[in-house]
Amino acid sequence: MSSVRVAGTGLTSFGEYPERTSRDLFAEASATALADSDVPRDDVDAVLYGNFMGELSEHQGHQGPLMAEAAGVTAPATRYEAACASSGMALRDAVIRLRNGECDVVLVGGAERMTNLGTAGATEALAIAADDLWEVRAGMTFPGAYALMATAYFETYGGDREDLAHIAAKNHENALTNEKAQYQRALSVEDVLEAPTVSSPLGLYDSCPLSDGAAAVVLVSEAYADEHDLDAPVAITGTGQGGDRMALHDREYLARSPAAREAGEQAYADAEIGPEDVDLAEVHDCFTIAEVLALEALDLEQVGEGISAARDGRTTPDGDTPINLSGGLKAKGHPVGATGVSQVAEVATLLAGDHPNSEYVEGATTGVAHNAGGTVASAVVHVLEVVA
């Protein structure tokens, strides 16, 4: 089985760019990734692209070939949609294609244009990742859904808003050095607690922002990397995917993420590692409670203990397992279709020593990227390791 190397990464800045189209954003990210990889465009065997709301925000479907064209690539292209896990799913498929020998070079990425819809329009567009018949028509939005999950967690395991505020403050602190982050400003725990309530117990700063942006990575087979003498020291050694019932009321748990647990167990087994081997992780913190659920699903924290991890310093840059050194979705931003690939790009650069926050994980060899769709009805997890 062929190893999969990360040959190049490319990110736009995440933020509010309502005048920029997704194709414009992806053209920038893919050009950066290809230049970073030293891989000629003619060598790309496939373009795999994640996007969630293009039909709603840009009246544009069939985006695969459009984005290949934007990247200057003539290879066959496919668009993936799995809500917030869209490009994570695309990346998983890229890994599988490279492993089975179907491809030697894959350009994989994603983009989203959201802010041109305005807050109300983007909120409505995001809501369709929930069950339309039983949730959306009843007025459910994702702040409300994650508020239900947070309430269930507090009632089952304990914790409070101050614990969540430590997560937000940590991730904003991490983003200060990330030039691609949407919010490069610090928040104190008090700032988070004093912010307006959005959906109790979640406040304004418990939520990630609406974001525009794109991400891309060039993945290559080990044989291609060796043949072309590429500088690609980080490999994707594990991949996994899990699922859960779509609507919250149909699930066995509100305070756990079985889909993420399934994906994590698969990825660990695939990479032949355990959670104790993980040095750092980028997890899907669309809301502060989501980071807690992700840590516990990935066995980086015991069930019921993830709520205190940031407050007690276990997930801070100088903690046992730094989490979301990029700033996470919370501060770096969440252009939905780009997020999964951007997480992998962040982990790869952290492990390679090329990230502004690599100093906190010097000597680290293993990282995890966790990408979730909706209220974690879909989840994909990747393990990355330094192999050269």
Token pair belonging to 113: 């244009």
Sheet holding 46-50, edge to edge: 77-80, 46-50, 105-112, 213-221, 4-11, 234-243, 378-386, 366-373, 280-282
CA distance 146 to 207: 10
Classified as helix, coil or strand, 107 is: strand
Question: Where are the alpha helices (H) located in 60-141, listed in sequence order?
Answer: 63-71, 86-99, 118-127
Of 166, 172, 284, 334, which is the active-site residue?
334
For every residue of 299-353, DSSP letters joined together read: TSS-TTTGGGTTTTTSSSTTSSS-B-TT-HHHHH---GGGHHHHHHHHHHHHHHT
Question: Is the CB of residue 332 less than 8 Å from the CB of residue 14?
Answer: yes
Comparing CA positions, the residue from 174, 358, 376 lying closest to residue 279 is 358
Residue 208 is among the residues annotated as catalytic for this protein: no
- Report CA 110 to chain centroid distance, whole Å: 11
**Residues 386, 97: contact at Cβ < 8 Å?**
no
Catalytic residue among 84, 103, 208, 286: 84
Q: CB within 8 A of 207, min separation 6: which ones? A: 143, 198, 286, 287, 330
The CA-CA-CA angle for residues 376, 51, 182, to 5°, reads: 80
**Rounded to an integer, what distance in angstroms lies between the CA atom of residue 1 and that of residue 99?**
6
DSSP conformation class of 88: H
Burial zone of 363 (CB within 10 Å; 0-12 exposed, 13-18 middle, 19+ buried): exposed
Rounded (5°) CA angle 386-339-223: 35
E strand residue ranges, 129-233: 197-199, 202-203, 213-221
Phi, psi of 242 (to 5 degrees): -135, 165
Q: Are 140 and 130 in contact (CB under 8 A)?
A: yes
Question: Is 249 noted as a catalytic residue in this protein?
Answer: no
* Residues annotated catalytic, as ranges: 84, 334
